Homo-oligomer: A and B are copies of this chain.
Amino acid sequence: MFQALADAVGAEHVIAGDDPSVADLCADEALGVPAGKPAYVVWPADREEVVAVVNAARAAGISVTARGAGTGLSGAATPDDGAVLLSFARMDRILEIDPVDAVAVVQPGVALDVLDAAAGEHGLTYPVHPGEQSASLGGTVATNAGGMRAVRYGVTRAHVLGLEAVLADGTVVRTGGRLAKISSGYDLTQLLIGSEGTLALVTEVIVRLHPHLPARRTVLAPFTGGADAVTAAVGRIVGAGLAPSVCEYLDGPTMRAVCAAADLTLGLPEDLVDADHLLVELAGRRVERVDEDAEELADTLSALGAAEVFDLPAGSARRLVEAREKAFWAVKAAGADEIVDLVVPRSAMAAFLGRARAVGDAHGSRVLGCGHAGDGNVHLAVFQPDPEQLAATLHGVFAAGIALGGAVSGEHGVGRAKAHHLAELGDPGALDVLRRVRAALDPEGTLNPGCSVR
């Protein structure tokens, strides 16, 4: 097998999986998924080398797990034992930024912040902003990544116009194009988005860029009357057409943790730190309009029961948004045992938080929350060292979310961490269809078999 892979990518780009130098690549950032033991790690340089790796692996009856930046939170990039781990790190070129059509064409290993900076040189932005901007385009396509700005711009799915990808049988397919829209047969682009490296390996991505919005205002509103009021405020803000570019919820403990981790003092009165917080950013083309909207926003928040409405200076705003993006590291450092990423109808967020905390209480687990409130996408940190109690807590939390009309993942994907939750809680008919689709595209189970729909 080594020789076949060396023939595919060059011997200097193959390393045995038990080599200590690749230990860091054998897991992503998911808290509950143990590292895998791949047979080999390979770094192809281009599409043809990806094809050669897939063909070699399939011929040997070995599976292939793709790895982007490894920032995933579901164990989707954690290789199956004995697999070939295929890193896209060398395929990291921006092939084109076309400011006229406002599209970018990139290799999958390009990091989000690199693309966004390159787009910025043309007054454009790529607005997919998960908390970790080192994530790769390929990885974000494979997870359908969301992030804070999705409330305004939509998730990855809304931005990908076309793909080039390698199927399990080594065929190269091209989907979509530099096209604002398309209705020419089933949408293979959309089918591959969110498929977590199980249907195809993406070797090129065409994305839509957006005009950069220079004007910005950020307000922080602590609510002391419970999360219900936060949920109501979010509905009103979105409903009014204010189109916030950030609309985040943080409970008191999470606010404390992220501020502490970022060494950030907002100067909130001590009793307000423990409130339920709503952090809202408005962005636009013109300062006057954003200022005017910020007034309307503040009025709305006050009217709906915010204890205070803080108009954050630009520096603090940026630091708080960044600290919120890094909430995962803060709760990880605090010893969180699992992160939950359920999505529920926007109006059900408070109800879900309440039920999730009750489930936690019943099992002696601590449950903290923040989330993309504008999307009803809740990130819970669950603290429970006992594996059985942890499993019971998670089971209860997932069941509570599904009962409210939710789904197991809003943006982190299914990966290995949630495959059994999806199998248990998803719609049986729909899951059966997805399994048939998977079998039709990858009959031998070559692509990331331990991951996603099983």
Q: Which residues of A contact B (CB under 8 A)?
A: 98-103, 123, 143-146, 150-151, 154-155, 157-158, 167, 171-188, 190-191, 193-195, 199, 210-211, 213, 235, 238-241, 285, 289, 343-347, 374-377, 405-414, 418, 422, 426-427, 429-434, 436-441, 452-453
Given contacts A179-B343, A190-B187, A238 and B436 within 8 Å (CB-CB)? no
Q: Which residue of B lies closest to A232 (CB)?
A: B100
A346 near B180: Cβ-Cβ < 8 Å: yes
Cβ–Cβ < 8 Å partners of A123 in chain B: 239
Given contacts A183-B412, A343-B181, A405-B177, A171 and B289 within 8 Å (CB-CB)? no
Given contacts A180-B375, A430-B173, A185 and B414 within 8 Å (CB-CB)? yes
Q: Which residue of B lies closest to A454 (CB)?
A: B185
A150 near B413: Cβ-Cβ < 8 Å: no
Pick the residue among B177, B418, B441 that contacts A407 (CB under 8 A). B177
A433 near B173: Cβ-Cβ < 8 Å: yes
Given contacts A211-B241, A289-B289, A343-B181, A188 and B157 within 8 Å (CB-CB)? no
B186 near A194: Cβ-Cβ < 8 Å: yes
Pick the residue among B172, B182, B199, B210 that contacts A409 (CB under 8 A). B182
A235 near B182: Cβ-Cβ < 8 Å: no
A343 near B407: Cβ-Cβ < 8 Å: no
A172 near B343: Cβ-Cβ < 8 Å: no
Cβ–Cβ < 8 Å partners of A427 in chain B: 173-175
Cβ–Cβ < 8 Å partners of A431 in chain B: 185
Of A102, A213, A345, A377, most B-chain CB atoms within 10 Å: A345
CB-based closest 9 A-B pairs: A211-B241, A173-B429, A190-B190, A440-B440, A180-B375, A178-B345, A436-B440, A144-B183, A173-B430
Cβ–Cβ < 8 Å partners of A238 in chain B: 102
- A sample of 8 more A-B contacts (CB under 8 A), given A102-B239, A146-B181, A185-B430, is A123-B239, A157-B190, A182-B410, A185-B452, A186-B437, A188-B433, A210-B241, A440-B440
CA distance A100 to B28 in the complex (A): 37
Cβ–Cβ < 8 Å partners of A157 in chain B: 187, 190
Cβ–Cβ < 8 Å partners of A426 in chain B: 184-185
Cβ–Cβ < 8 Å partners of A172 in chain B: 429
Please state the number of chain copies in the assembly.
2
Pick the residue among B183, B193, B239, B437 that contacts A413 (CB under 8 A). B183
CA distance A406 to B150 in the complex (A): 28
CA distance A154 to B158 in the complex (A): 9
Pick the residue among B99, B146, B191, B432 that contacts A239 (CB under 8 A). B99
A101 near B441: Cβ-Cβ < 8 Å: no
How far in angstroms is the closest Cβ of chain B from A327? 18
Given contacts A171-B429, A179-B345, A433-B173, A100 and B235 within 8 Å (CB-CB)? yes
Of A146, A177, A180, A410, most B-chain CB atoms within 10 Å: A180
CA distance A83 to B337 in the complex (A): 57
CA distance A413 to B177 in the complex (A): 16
Cβ–Cβ < 8 Å partners of A285 in chain B: 241
Pick the residue among B175, B199, B406, B412 that contacts A430 (CB under 8 A). B175
Cβ–Cβ < 8 Å partners of A151 in chain B: 180
B422 near A433: Cβ-Cβ < 8 Å: no
20 A–B pairs (Cβ distance < 8 Å), ordered by A = A99-B239, A100-B239, A100-B347, A146-B181, A154-B158, A167-B433, A173-B430, A179-B407, A181-B377, A181-B410, A182-B343, A183-B411, A184-B414, A184-B418, A184-B422, A185-B452, A186-B452, A190-B193, A211-B239, A241-B285
Cβ–Cβ < 8 Å partners of A408 in chain B: 184
How far in angstroms is the closest Cβ of chain B from A202? 13
Cβ–Cβ < 8 Å partners of A155 in chain B: 181, 183
Cβ–Cβ < 8 Å partners of A178 in chain B: 345, 405
Cβ–Cβ < 8 Å partners of A422 in chain B: 184-185
Cβ–Cβ < 8 Å partners of A440 in chain B: 436-437, 439-440
CA distance A241 to B213 in the complex (A): 8
How far in angstroms is the closest Cβ of chain B from A452? 6
How far in angstroms is the closest Cβ of chain B from A119? 12
How far in angstroms is the closest Cβ of chain B from A436? 4
How far in angstroms is the closest Cβ of chain B from A373? 10
Q: Which residue of B lies closest to A213 (CB)?
A: B241
